[in-house]
Structure 1
Amino acid sequence: MRPVLDGDLIALARVVMTWPSAQRGARLAEAISQVEEADAHREREGRAHPKWGNGSLMSWALGYPAGSRDAGNPEYLRALAAVCTALIALKIARAPSSTGPAAYVIGSSATKGVPDDETYGESGCGRSGLDADLR
């Protein structure tokens, strides 16, 4: 997956808010899996995946219907929280640990153990996943 930026969170949350609440966790897991496959495709083939984009959350999200962004809309905020929770769970599951992967339940408010000093991407420069750089 390409480095995650604020725009990625917003774009994906706008898609997630169109999904039924009960399906969000499973559908987010599937979306993240597709984004990772798209990134692998980009690295392997030198071009974006035809359906899932270039490996960024935003490029994936732009291929699906989306609701409107409104920070005053509780449904948008719940969708944004679901996106952040799913990414936290992924980060925790992949974090090296002497006791194994941390258990994390989507919908839980627990974020203990989430690294807050991680830099995303190789350069840490905050470049969008939508640029033409295919490295």
Structure 2
Amino acid sequence: MRPVLHGDVSAAARALLAALPQNRDRLCIRMIHEAELADKHVGQTGKLHPVFGNGSLMATARNRQLADEPGFDDVQYCRCFEIVLRHLIRFQISRTRN
């Protein structure tokens, strides 16, 4: 996966916010996996992945419906942001162990 910036986390959180709460963890894991697959594809072919894009989390998030971005006074958005950060931490930890 390409380096993750604030915009990537925001886009992923907006995709989660548009999803049902019970599907958010699974969706987040899937988006991270898709970004990783796309990044590998770009590295091997020099071309964008035909479905998942350039390997950024933002590209995979933008393949989905995105909620309008609220402020951090929106508790559900904060929870979605937290889900993304939690799964990114797990992804990075597992990546360094391999």
Report the TM-score when normalising by structure 2: 0.90
Greater gyration radius: 1
Counterparts of 2:30 and 2:62, CA distance in 1: 16
Partner of 2:43: 43
Residue pair 2:9, 2:84 contacting (<8 A) in 1 also: yes
Give 1:93 shift: 2.2
Deviation at 1:27, TM superposition (A): 1.7
| Equivalent residues, number | 97
Structure 2: how far apart are the matches of 1:68 and 1:75?
A: 12
Q: Report the counterpart of residue 52 of structure 1 in structure 2.
A: 52
Note the alpha carbon deviations across 1:77-133, whole angstroms, 9 max, x for none: 11111100110111222334xxxx9xxxxxxxxxxxxxxxxxxxxxxxxxxxxxxxx
SS in 1 for 2:13: helix
- Residue aligning to 1:31: 31
Equivalent position of 2:75 in the other structure: 74
Gaps of 5+ in 1: 102-135
Runs of 4+ in 1 over 6 A off after TM superposition: none
| Residue identity matched to 1:66 | L
Q: Counterpart in 2 of 1:91?
A: 92
Cα drift, residue 68 of structure 1:
1.1
- Give secondary structure in 1 for the equivalent of 2:18: coil
RMSD (Å), alpha carbons? 1.5
> Aligned partners of 1:51 and 1:74: how far apart in 2?
31
- In the other structure, the counterpart of 1:112 is none
Greater per-residue helix proportion: 2
Cα distance in 2 for partners of 1:52, 1:11 equals 14
Give the distance between the partners of 1:61 and 1:24, measured in 2 at CA. Answer: 12
**% identical equivalent positions:** 34
Whole-angstrom distance in 1 between the partners of 2:95 and 2:55: 18
Contact 2:12 2:28 in 1 (8 A): no
TM-score (norm. length: structure 1): 0.67
Q: CA deviation at 1:54?
A: 0.3
Counterpart CA distance in 1 for 2:27 and 2:64 is 13
Structure 2 alignment gaps of length 5 or more: none
